[in-house]
Structure 1
Amino acid sequence: MIPGSLDAGERLNIRGAFQAFKVWVRRYFWLWIAYQIVKGIITTTIVWAPLAYLYLGK
C-alpha cells in the first residue's frame, strides 16, 4: 500500500483534515511570526544598515 493512501472501505475525512490544519496553524503561527521578526532584524543589520551608511555617508 502507498503511504497516505486510503484503504478499500475508508472514506476521506475532509472535516477532520480541516480541523487538523486549523490546529497546525494555531500551533505554528507565533513561531512563524517570531521567525519573520528575527529574519527582519538580521537582514536590516547585515544588509540595509551598511548600505544606508555607505549611501548617506557621502
Structure 2
Amino acid sequence: MESETTRDVAGTAYGWIQAATEYADHGRKASTAEVKFTRSMIKADPPKTAAFRITRELLTV
C-alpha cells in the first residue's frame, strides 16, 4: 500500500504491518460506525492478525 503514512517505512516489516493496519482500519468499508470501531479497537481483525503472523514467520526463518 502506497500512502503518505507508510512511505518512510516501505520495504520493511514495520511497513508491511503499517500498510495492513491502514487498510484494515481505513481502507475497508464498514456498514456502520460501530462495525468500524469494533474492528479497529475491540476485536482481533483478520487482516491485522494475518499481517502479524506472516511477519513473525518471515522474521524467524
Scaled by the length of structure 1, what TM-score is found?
0.31
User: Which structure carries more relative contact order (alpha carbon 8 Å, separation 6+)?
Assistant: 2
Which has more radius of gyration? 1
Quick check: which one's helix share is greater?
1
